[in-house]
């Protein structure tokens, strides 16, 4: 199995004495959609900062594509090109007053020729649907627009791994949907996408694999249809179960669903379930019990 990013037993304490990571271990397969869930202060962002060499583990090791991270200039430059991070607060990422220049910062750092930079910037702006904003000053953008500009700034570097910290927080449903669609497009092109989020419904429906963090450690991992059913794990991470799973468990508990059916991953799955063999049974059952 090929891991693109791996953290092995990483410890990190911030200079002010806050222990952020206490032996976090996690391995991400190339080309997967990965969700990282956990409460505030679980160490998600700190772990991300280890993945492109901004923070150095005080104990433990970090690997990129099977190689242990080195912290010399050349290695870091290559690493930061291939592992892109989009931060949660757009105002801490935007430094330029012009959208176009902001997006061009990453590719310019790669030392590419001008024409290549222009092409990458245009492409990234197209993908995030901000082409119309190119000449707008960044301080006049709305929160959602700023967020998309940040994403474009990272996409323009064509990273192999895209890491996003709370990409949909604070976005209206339409743009949240668009961003998730964009992630799916990137995933189809082979990019590994890692999201940190509190949104269990989103992570459950979207991810190929999920990790749970709490107190600086990875406390659970697995396929969404398995881990999201673990109520105790989710509760220990101050999370709730996705509504689809809740609903599925309820149906099973009432005996409306066969034991062999997997929980639905999306509304479409649920409809299919309701229309299929188990579904007919479910509706009949629901009718008899006069509830549900």
Partner 1 sequence: MACFLRKARLPALWVELFCLTYRFIFVIMETAEKIYLSQSARWGYASLQNSYRSLGQLVSVLLVRSLYRSRALYTALLARGYDGELQVLEERFEVSGKNWAFITGTGAVLLFLALAGRGWPF
Provide the binding-site residues for partner 1, judged by CB under 8 A.
Answer: 49, 52, 54, 73, 77, 80-81, 84-85, 87, 89, 91-97, 100-102, 104-110, 114, 117-118, 121, 138-139, 153-154, 157
Please say which residue, 136 or 252, places its beta carbon nearer to partner 1: 136
Name the one residue in this structure whose structure tokens are 């323009």. 156
Do residues 93 and 138 make contact, with C-beta atoms less than 8 angstroms apart? Answer: no
Please say which residue, 131 or 225, places its beta carbon nearer to partner 1: 131
Residue (of 100, 2, 93, 85) closest to 50 by Cα position: 85
Q: Taking the complex as a whole, how short is the minimal distance between the CB of residue 21 and partner 1, in angstroms?
A: 16
Q: Taking the complex as a whole, how short is the minimal distance between the CB of residue 140 and partner 1, in angstroms?
A: 9
Please say which residue, 151 or 244, places its beta carbon nearer to partner 1: 151
Please say which residue, 104 or 145, places its beta carbon nearer to partner 1: 104
Please say which residue, 85 or 202, places its beta carbon nearer to partner 1: 85
Do residues 258 and 281 make contact, with C-beta atoms less than 8 angstroms apart? Answer: yes
Q: Can you tell me the distance from the alpha carbon of 200 to that of 203, in angstroms, rounded to the nearest whole number? A: 5
Pairing of the two strands 161-165 and 83-86: parallel
Please say which residue, 137 or 255, places its beta carbon nearer to partner 1: 137
Q: Taking the complex as a whole, how short is the minimal distance between the CB of residue 67 and partner 1, in angstroms?
A: 18
Q: Taking the complex as a whole, how short is the minimal distance between the CB of residue 135 and partner 1, in angstroms?
A: 9
Q: Can you tell me the distance from the alpha carbon of 146 to that of 138, in angstroms, rounded to the nearest whole number? A: 7
Residue 223: which residues within 8 A CB-CB, separation 6 or more? 208, 209, 210
Residue (of 3, 174, 143, 5) closest to 85 by Cα position: 5
Q: Taking the complex as a whole, how short is the minimal distance between the CB of residue 205 and partner 1, in angstroms?
A: 28
Q: Taking the complex as a whole, how short is the minimal distance between the CB of residue 118 and partner 1, in angstroms?
A: 7
Give backbone dihedrals phi and psi of 196, rounded to 5 degrees, phi first. -100, 135
Largest CA distance in the chain: 70
């Amino acid at each position: 199995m090929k891991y693109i990013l791996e953290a092995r037993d990483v410890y990190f304490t911030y200079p002010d004495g806050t222990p952020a990571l206490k032996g976090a271990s996690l391995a991400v397969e190339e080309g997967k959609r990965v969700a990282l869930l956990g409460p505030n202060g679980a160490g998600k962002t700190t772990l991300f900062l280890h993945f492109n060499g901004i923070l150095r583990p005080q104990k433990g090791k970090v690997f990129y594509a099977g190689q242990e991270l080195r912290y010399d200039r050349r290695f870091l430059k290559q690493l930061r090109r291939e592992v892109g991070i989009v931060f949660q607060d757009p105002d801490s990422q935007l430094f330029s007053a012009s959208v176009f220049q902001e997006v061009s910062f990453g590719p310019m750092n790669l030392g590419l020729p001008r024409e290549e930079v222009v092409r990458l910037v245009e492409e990234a702006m197209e993908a995030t649907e901000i082409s119309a904003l190119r000449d707008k000053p960044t301080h006049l953008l709305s929160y959602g627009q700023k967020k998309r500009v940040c994403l474009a700034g990272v996409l323009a570097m064509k990273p192999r791994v895209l890491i996003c910290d709370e990409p949909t927080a604070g976005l209206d449903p339409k743009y949240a949907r668009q961003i998730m669609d964009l992630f799916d497009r990137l995933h189809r092109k082979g990019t590994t996408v890692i999201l940190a989020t509190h949104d269990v419904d989103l992570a459950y429906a979207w991810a190929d694999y999920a990790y749970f963090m709490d107190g600086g450690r990875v406390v659970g991992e697995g396929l969404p249809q398995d881990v999201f059913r673990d109520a105790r794990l989710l509760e220990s991470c101050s999370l709730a179960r996705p509504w689809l799973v809740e609903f599925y468990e309820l149906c099973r508990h009432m005996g409306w669903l066969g034991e062999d059916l997997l929980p639905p991953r999306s509304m479409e799955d649920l409809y299919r379930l309701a229309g299929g063999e188990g579904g007919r049974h479910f509706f009949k059952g629901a009718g008899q019990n006069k509830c549900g």
